[in-house]
């Protein structure tokens, strides 16, 4: 046989050019996506750091149009509302997640899982309206209503991540516990949940970071307040609300404070997210 080795035809110029061009296009998209990120963070740093001062962190807002004052009550108010939200949202979220992972391998479990996903997609402004309708109408705006609205937004995220994390716990560990005669509920609490703690906390922190900057659900629930408030039944200031109001105002000094407030807010959130990533990297389940 006369083997004129069929020479592999070289890839045509057109195909090679297309290949390189598309690589270039993909790189360009990365640059275009990172550009706003850099622009937003850069501008936030620039305006935020320049605008923050002692008064901003320690004083309450001055009357309309007057320069000076700060958002101390809004910072504390945010922490207050987020505390209420976590107190309600975390137990329900973790509970639902445990149910889904340990007892939810059935149709009802699937229904709950689907419900959680649907709830996750409900626009936050709609949650705000429902919060108003249930807790504010006839009673008045309150920190509690704001906390409940935010808790509703936390539950789906926490329950789905809790479920995912619990499912990573090897079945052999549960079986070992059963083998020792430990009842199922005790196994779930002391063995499964305990093993998955770092993952569950990750989910909680992610949900927390997500609601910390939410404004829309608070518009008609917590409402905002220019004074200190320590009662859960009274309207309460929140950082995102205050930023929104100040951004829409015509005063330069309020714009400055909106930037300062944004800076404080983003520092809180980024710290939380970074802490989560650090914990995940160190935790036993993050890598799975």
Partner 1 sequence: MTACALAVLAVLILIVYELISRSGLSWHAFGFKFFASSEWDPVSEKFGALPFIYGTLVSSLVALVIAVPLSVGVAVFTTEMCPKAFRGPLSFFVELLAAIPSVIYGLWAMFVLVPLLSTKVEPFLGKTLGWTGLFTGAPYGIGMLAAGIILAIMIIPIISSITREVLLVVPQQQREGVLALGATRWEMIRVGVLRNARAGILGGIILGLGRALGETMAVTMVIGNRPEIAKSLFAPGYTMASVLANEFSEATGDTYLSALIEIGLALFLVTIVVNALARLLVWSVTRGQPAKGSA
| Binding residues for partner 1 restricted to 122-161, rule: CB under 8 A | 122-130, 132-134, 152, 155-156, 159, 161
Separation CA 137–CA 114 (nearest Å): 30
Cβ neighbours around 128 below 10 Å, total: 26
Q: Could you say whether residue 273 binds partner 1 (CB under 8 A)?
A: yes
Summarize the chain as % helix, strand, coil (round to 5): 75, 0, 25
Instruction: State the Cα angle at 125 between 121 and 126, rounded to 5°.
Output: 65
Burial of 154 (0-12, 13-18, 19+ CB in 10 A): buried
- Site for partner 1 contains 98 (CB under 8 A): yes
Structure-block tokens of residue 255: 């714009």
Output the smallest distance, CB 242 to partner 1, in A: 10
Q: Is 28 in the site for partner 1 (CB under 8 A)?
A: yes
**Least CB distance to partner 1 at residue 203 (A):** 8
> What is the three-class DSSP state of 118?
helix
In the complex, least distance from residue 75 CB atom to partner 1, rounded to whole angstroms: 14
Residue 13 binds partner 1, judged by CB under 8 A: no
Interface with partner 1, residue 72, by CB under 8 A: no
Is residue 11 within the footprint of partner 1 (CB under 8 A)? yes
CA 153 to CA 85: how far, in whole Å? 9
Stretch that binds partner 1, among 50-58, 72-80, 121-129, 226-234 (CB under 8 A): 121-129
Among 71, 74, 196, 265, binds partner 1 (CB under 8 A): 265
When the beta carbons of 2 and 205 are compared against partner 1, the nearer one is 205
């Amino acid at each position: 046989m006369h083997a004129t080795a069929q020479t592999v035809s070289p890839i045509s110029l057109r195909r090679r050019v297309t290949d390189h061009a598309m690589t270039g296009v993909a790189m360009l998209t990365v640059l275009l996506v990172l550009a706003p990120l850099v622009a937003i963070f850069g501008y936030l740093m620039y305006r935020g750091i320049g605008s923050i001062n002692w008064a901003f962190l320690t004083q309450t807002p001055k009357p309309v149009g007057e320069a000076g004052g700060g958002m101390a009550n809004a910072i504390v108010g945010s922490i207050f509302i987020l505390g209420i939200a976590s107190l309600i949202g975390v137990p329900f979220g973790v509970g639902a997640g445990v149910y889904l992972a340990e007892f939810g391998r059935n149709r009802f479990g699937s229904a709950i899982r689907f419900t959680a996903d649907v709830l996750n997609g409900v626009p936050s402004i709609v949650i705000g309206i429902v919060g108003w309708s249930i807790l504010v109408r006839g009673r008045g705006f309150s920190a509690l209503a704001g906390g409940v609205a935010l808790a509703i937004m936390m539950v789906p995220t926490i329950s789905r991540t809790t479920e995912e994390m619990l499912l990573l716990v090897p079945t052999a560990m549960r079986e070992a516990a059963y083998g020792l005669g430990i009842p199922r509920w005790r196994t779930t609490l002391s063995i499964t949940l305990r093993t998955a703690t770092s993952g569950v906390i990750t989910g909680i922190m992610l949900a927390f970071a997500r609601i910390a900057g939410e404004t829309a659900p608070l518009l008609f629930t917590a409402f905002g307040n220019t004074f200190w408030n320590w009662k859960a039944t009274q309207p309460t200031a929140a950082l995102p609300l205050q930023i929104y109001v100040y951004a829409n105002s015509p005063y330069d000094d309020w714009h400055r404070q909106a930037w300062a407030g944004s800076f404080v807010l983003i520092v809180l959130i980024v710290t939380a997210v970074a802490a989560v990533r650090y914990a995940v990297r160190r935790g036993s389940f993050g890598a799975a």
